[in-house]
Structure 1
Amino acid sequence: MNQQTLSAFIWSVADLLRGDYKQSDYGKVILPFTVLRRLDCVLEASKSAVLAELEIRQQQGINPEPFLLRKSGHSFYNVSPLDLKKLLGDQDHIAQNLYSYVQAFSPAVRDVFERFEFHTQVDRLAKAGLLYQVTEKFAQIDLHPDVVSNVQMGLVFEELIRKFAELSNETAGEHFTPREVIRLMVNLIFIEDDDILSRPGVVRHLYDPTAGTGGMLSVAGEYLAEHNPQARLTVYGQELNPESYAICKADMLIKGQDVANIVFGNTLSDDGHAGRHFDYMLSNPPFGVEWKKVEKEVRREHESQGYNGRFGPGLPRVSDGSMLFLLHLISKMRPAQDGGSRFGIVLNGSPLFTGGAGSGESEIRRYVLENDLLEAIVGLPTDMFYNTGIATYVWIVSNRKPAARRGKVQLIDASGMWQKMRKSLGSKRKELSDAHIERITRLFGDFVEAHDEDGKPISRIFDNEDFGYHSITVERPLRGDDGAVVLGTRGKQKGKPQPDPKLRDTENVPYSEDVGEYFKREVLPHAPDAWIDPDKTRVGYEIPFNRHFYVFKPPRPLAEIDAELKQTTDRILAMIKGLSA
């Protein structure tokens, strides 16, 4: 069964709900029932063996759990003799039987259905007289992994969430990231470690602090399984949205991951993996979302723990918390002496340049660059994400840079690498092809400056210091009504020219330049009475990504424009003449 057919079938359940449910509430029924049917099919083959094992261990008075897990062949089980098809045999008691069936799952699965608030929906469906019909609909569909692969199932969940988010005017992009963007990010964080990852029995730990439905964790697992089937990737995550968390946890259960590693809650205010460090990390935090709700906790950590906490370098403005996730991931890096880490994070344009010298944003960039953590930034095409058409950037950050990359940052402009989608999905109108992903990965792997077929730069390499500057405050003297310079009369200012606030200006001097030389060359010829206030000098960092890829196009010759205007004027005159004839 292909993905479109499967999604359409599941979506047809909405026809049953129409009238009794608002469109924005369809997902509250369809998502948990889809998960339930998937788990139902996964456990079907081992059902009888699990029940027989349960009886034996109960007679022996032994805790049956480890034996049941072994018999089920998965990290979960169900001890009810019922399944979805058997439930249909007792129409009058379907609600009670459905409750007991769900309660008979192992604890991790029960938690999934609690996050979905499944009991509430069962009650509501029963009162509306729809419970039997909905259960029957799902019992008809075969979601066994032999029929619907884990990859397909993940895509189905994502498509359903996107549809429900659109119906309820939510931001679907907060829940998941396009798969081809994840594939690119996974390629970029693994490419330099292909030799290590190909060793038999290698174990690596991957973390996503904004896990959504688990797409990033899944794609990373698929990559490693494809390149080295003997390698093992242990995944960790945290997610704030209850439905996304439930789907992520269910997905990880089916794939045999330890679901205790998937934590529910707000990563910024309540780190679910405190004290842990990871080999690799991936994240697509919400774009431009304020962090006012967690401001108290974040500020407390910043002020009380400083660099011993996660937010030592600085805090961004409250209107956009994405750089807090950048700092959070840096705090989760394994120390370099223990092997180090690499991570990829998707950010909008704001973290590149927002905030002047001394601001929280600039101080975070300063920390990243002065500690030589930034390997590369890849500028993606617009219209790549489901909930926004804005430009986005993938930052690759590592504390174990290869020797050639030390002290350097690579910028890759992939904004022109896209193909149009056959059908738009929300704001997503463009996608990366396999060829585009391969090209970007190669540009990163080769670590060289490069141009496209038209000679436009697409890969550039800079020193870390190229993004730093000194922000100097240039003062001019205050003059009295007679034009004489006003001098200070007391303290340290006695006898010194006083600055005129109206004439005060600031200049950004590139980090590589001598401030005094710059001042003599650029300021004094125009304002011989000016001076620098050294107490106000600040260090700042910004990454003007687009400026480094701008190619000047000279305007067309004036004669060509005049000729075109004359042609247009002549055509208009001829049309007027024709009308008056």
Structure 2
Amino acid sequence: MNQQSLSAFIWSVADLLRGDYKQSDYGKVILPFTVLRRLDCVLEPTKAAVLSELAEKEAQGINPEPFLLRKSKQSFYNQSPLDLPKLLGDPDNIAHNLFTYVQGFSPAVRDVFERFEFQAQVERLAKAGLLYQVTEKFTQIDLHPEVVSNMQMGLVFEELIRKFAEISNETAGEHFTPREVIRLMVNLIFIEDDAILSKPGVVRTIYDPTAGTGGMLSVAGEYLAEHNPQARLTVFGQELNPESYAICKADMLIKGQDVANIAFGNTLSDDGHAHKRFDYMLSNPPFGVEWKKVEKEVRKEHEQQGYNGRFGPGLPRVSDGSMLFLLHLLSKMRPTSEGGSRFGIVLNGSPLFTGGAGSGESEIRRYVLENDLCEAIVGLPTDMFYNTGISTYVWIISNRKPEARKGKVQLIDASGMWQKMRKSLGSKRKELSDAHIERITRLFGDFAEAHDDDGTPISRIFDNEAFGYHSITVERPLRDEAGNIVLGQKGKQKGKPQPDASLRDTENVPLSEDVGEYFKREVLPHAPDAWIDPDKTKVGYEIPFNRHFYVFKPPRPLAEIDAELKQTTDRILDMIKGLSA
């Protein structure tokens, strides 16, 4: 059964719920039942062995848990004699038996169903007389892993969440990232380490602070399994949305990961992995979402802990918290002495340039660039994400740059690399093909300037300081009514020309230029009485991505345009003559 038909089948359960449930509540039933059926199918082959082991160990008075895990051949088990098909044999007691069955799971799975508030939904379905029909419907789906792979299952969960989010006017994109974007990001963070990752028995950690349903962690695991089956990737994550968290945790359970590594809660105000560091990290934080709810905790950490906390370099404006996740990930990097880290984060355009010199955003960019942490920024096509059509950028950050990359930043313009989707999904109308992913990965791996077939630049390399500037304040003297310069009367200002606030101006001088030389060349010829106030000079950083890929195309010659207009006019006149003839 392919993913679309499977999703359509599960979606048909909605027909049963119509009338008794609002559309926006369908997910509260369908998501937990889908997870339950998947777990039911995964455990089915070892069910008899687990029950036999349980009886034996209980007779011996031994704690059965470690033995049940071994027999189930999974990182979870169920010790109830029931399963979903058996529940259908006792329609009158289905609600009670369903509770008993769910309580028979190991603690990590029970937590999944608590996050779904499954008990409340079972009671509601029973009251509406729908519980038996819904259970029967799900029992008809074959979700055994040999029929539906883990990867397919992850895609099914994502599609269901997207549909429910659309129905209830939620932001679907907050919960997951398109798989091809994740594949690109995974390629970019692993490519330079292929030699290390191909060693037998290598163990690495990967972390996603905005884990959603676990898509990024899953794709990273698939990549490593494909390139080196002996390598092991231990995954860590945190998620704020209870349903996404429950699905992520269930997905990780099935894949044999330690689900204690998936924390619940708000990463910014309550870090579920405090003091931990990771080899690799991936994140797609929500775009343009304000952080007012966690402002108190974040400001407190910034002010009290400074660089010992996560937010030392500065704080962005409250209207967009995505750069807080960038800072959070920077704080999770392993020290270079312990092997260092590399991570990829998806951001919208504003973190590249929002905020002048001295602002929180500029100070964060300054920290990243002056510490030589940015390897590359890749501009993606518009219409790539489910909930927004805006331009997005993947930042690749590392504190273990290869020698050739030291002191440099690579900008890759992949905005023209896309293919149209056969069917739009929300705002997503475009996708990256395998060939596009390979091309972008190769551009990154080659680390060289490159152009497309038309000669337009698509890869550019800059020194870190190319993005920095001195913001200087240019003062002009205040003059009285007679036109004389007003001088200070007291203290340090005595005898000095006083500035006219209405004539005050600021200039941005590239870091690579001498401020004095720039001032002499650009300002004094136009304002000979001007001076710089050195106390107001600030250092700023911005990354004007699009400007570096802009190619000026001169307009066509006027004669050519006139000739074309005449040709069109003559054609219209001929048509009019033809009509009146």
Shorter chain as normaliser: what TM range? over 0.9
Q: Which residue of 1 is the match for residue 244 of structure 2?
A: 244
Deviations 1:195-247 (A, max 9, x none): 00000000000000000000000000000000000000000000000000000
1:341 correspondence with 2:344? no
| AA in 1 matched with 2:325 | F
Q: CA deviation at 1:540?
A: 0.1
Q: Which residue of 2 is the match for residue 99 of structure 1?
A: 99
Q: Which residue of 2 is the match for residue 10 of structure 1?
A: 10
1:547 correspondence with 2:532? no
Q: Which residue of 2 is the match for residue 125 of structure 1?
A: 125
| AA in 2 matched with 1:311 | F
- Aligned-residue RMSD, C-alpha: 1.0
| AA in 2 matched with 1:450 | A
| AA in 1 matched with 2:361 | E
SS of residue in 1 equivalent to 2:257: coil
Q: CA deviation at 1:39?
A: 0.1
Q: CA deviation at 1:48?
A: 1.0
Q: CA deviation at 1:556?
A: 0.8
Following superposition of structure 1 onto structure 2, how do residues 343-492 of structure 1 map, counting pairs within 5 Å? 343-492=343-492
| AA in 1 matched with 2:213 | T
Following superposition of structure 1 onto structure 2, how do residues 30-179 of structure 1 map, counting pairs within 5 Å? 30-179=30-179
CA distance, structure 2, for counterparts of residue 120 and residue 482 of structure 1: 83
Q: CA deviation at 1:58?
A: 1.2
Q: CA deviation at 1:577?
A: 5.7
Q: CA deviation at 1:575?
A: 5.4
Q: CA deviation at 1:579?
A: 6.4
Q: CA deviation at 1:570?
A: 3.9
CA distance, structure 2, for counterparts of residue 540 and residue 574 of structure 1: 62
1:508 correspondence with 2:508? yes
CA distance, structure 1, for counterparts of residue 380 and residue 460 of structure 2: 15
Q: Which residue of 1 is the match for residue 215 of structure 2?
A: 215
| AA in 1 matched with 2:373 | L
Q: Which residue of 2 is the match for residue 531 of structure 1?
A: 531
Q: CA deviation at 1:562?
A: 1.8
Q: CA deviation at 1:252?
A: 0.2
Q: Which residue of 2 is the match for residue 225 of structure 1?
A: 225
CA distance, structure 2, for counterparts of residue 184 and residue 79 of structure 1: 41
SS of residue in 1 equivalent to 2:375: strand
Q: CA deviation at 1:567?
A: 3.3
SS of residue in 1 equivalent to 2:320: coil
CA distance, structure 1, for counterparts of residue 564 and residue 314 of structure 2: 55
Following superposition of structure 1 onto structure 2, how do residues 253-272 of structure 1 map, counting pairs within 5 Å? 253-272=253-272
Unaligned runs of 5+ in 1: none
* Greater mean alpha carbon deviation, residues 502-511 or residues 556-565: 556-565
| AA in 2 matched with 1:16 | L
Deviations 1:247-298 (A, max 9, x none): 0000000000000000000000000000100000000000000000000000
CA distance, structure 1, for counterparts of residue 324 and residue 235 of structure 2: 22
Q: Which residue of 1 is the match for residue 324 of structure 2?
A: 324
Q: CA deviation at 1:471?
A: 0.2
CA distance, structure 2, for counterparts of residue 145 and residue 473 of structure 1: 66
CA distance, structure 2, for counterparts of residue 343 and residue 570 of structure 1: 61
Deviations 1:342-388 (A, max 9, x none): 00000000000000000000000000000000000000000000000
Q: CA deviation at 1:60?
A: 1.6
CA distance, structure 2, for counterparts of residue 350 and residue 255 of structure 1: 37
CA distance, structure 1, for counterparts of residue 517 and residue 348 of structure 2: 36
CA distance, structure 1, for counterparts of residue 289 and residue 13 of structure 2: 33
CA distance, structure 1, for counterparts of residue 577 and residue 273 of structure 2: 79
CA distance, structure 1, for counterparts of residue 578 and residue 23 of structure 2: 57
Q: Which residue of 1 is the match for residue 297 of structure 2?
A: 297
SS of residue in 1 equivalent to 2:305: helix
CA distance, structure 1, for counterparts of residue 516 and residue 576 of structure 2: 66
| AA in 1 matched with 2:459 | S
Q: CA deviation at 1:572?
A: 4.7
| AA in 2 matched with 1:324 | L
Deviations 1:447-475 (A, max 9, x none): 01100000000000000000000000001
Q: CA deviation at 1:569?
A: 3.7
Identity of aligned pairs, percent?
89
| AA in 2 matched with 1:94 | I
CA distance, structure 1, for counterparts of residue 478 and residue 438 of structure 2: 61
Q: Which residue of 2 is the match for residue 205 of structure 1?
A: 205
Q: Which residue of 2 is the match for residue 315 of structure 1?
A: 315
| AA in 1 matched with 2:266 | N
CA distance, structure 2, for counterparts of residue 26 and residue 455 of structure 1: 52
| AA in 2 matched with 1:231 | A
SS of residue in 1 equivalent to 2:45: coil
| AA in 1 matched with 2:278 | F
| AA in 2 matched with 1:159 | E
CA distance, structure 1, for counterparts of residue 422 and residue 150 of structure 2: 24
Q: CA deviation at 1:573?
A: 4.7
| AA in 2 matched with 1:321 | G
Deviations 1:545-577 (A, max 9, x none): 000000000011111222233334444555566
What TM-score, normalized by structure 2, do the two folds share? 0.99
CA distance, structure 1, for counterparts of residue 105 and residue 181 of structure 2: 35
CA distance, structure 1, for counterparts of residue 523 and residue 573 of structure 2: 54
CA distance, structure 2, for counterparts of residue 188 and residue 298 of structure 1: 30
| AA in 1 matched with 2:200 | P
CA distance, structure 1, for counterparts of residue 577 and residue 485 of structure 2: 70
What TM-score, normalized by structure 1, do the two folds share? 0.99
Aligned residues: 581
CA distance, structure 2, for counterparts of residue 578 and residue 494 of structure 1: 86
Runs of 4+ in 1 over 4 A off after TM superposition: 571-581
CA distance, structure 2, for counterparts of residue 568 and residue 531 of structure 1: 58
Q: CA deviation at 1:401?
A: 0.4
Following superposition of structure 1 onto structure 2, how do residues 182-201 of structure 1 map, counting pairs within 5 Å? 182-201=182-201
